[in-house]
Homo-oligomer: A and B are copies of this chain.
Amino acid sequence: MRAVYDDIMATRKTDWINNFWKAIAHDSATLKRTWESIKQIMGPGALDPLTKELIYVAVSVANNCNYCIASHTASAVKKGMTREMFKELQAVIGMAAETNKLVTGYCVEIDKQFELPFGGTK
């Protein structure tokens, strides 16, 4: 547990551990696995870290996780999210939720023109 906490603080350049890690620390396998996965996934890659945080917030809003909204909004601000970006993020999330439901209620069939995403099998 200590080693994971130290790595979290070193990686994030911070000196405190937020409640999420404390809660799951009761299960050391989950603590270690979750931290290693997040560290691997959220680091820089083809997408920059701020974009990843925006996506994380969007999923957390869609899934109604208030804790993750709070923690990842904070991370996004730390990585450069401005007030303008925040507003646009929320507008996109709301718009997507609305059209998701119009599509579902109107029973819209997927157009043949849309190709499968990378890796898709159907």
A residues lining the B interface (CB < 8 Å): 16, 18-20, 22-27, 29-30, 33-34, 37-38, 40-42, 45-47, 51-52, 54-74, 82-111, 113-122
Task: Report the copy number of this chain in the oligomer.
Answer: 6
User: Which residues in B have their C-beta under 8 angstroms from that of A73?
Assistant: 114, 117
Q: What is the CB-to-nearest-CB distance from A118 to chain B, in angstroms, rounded to a whole number?
A: 5
User: Which residues in B have their C-beta under 8 angstroms from that of A98?
Assistant: 34, 37, 94-95, 97-98
With a 10 A CB-CB cut-off, give which of A20, A29, A91 has the most chain B CB atoms. A91
User: Which residues in B have their C-beta under 8 angstroms from that of A87?
Assistant: 26-27, 30, 46, 118-119
Q: Say whether, besides A26-B87, A26-B119, A118-B26, A34 and B99 are in contact (CB < 8 Å).
A: yes
CB pair A108–B47 under 8 Å, yes or no, is no
Q: Say whether, besides A59-B58, A59-B92, A101 and B97 are in contact (CB < 8 Å).
A: yes
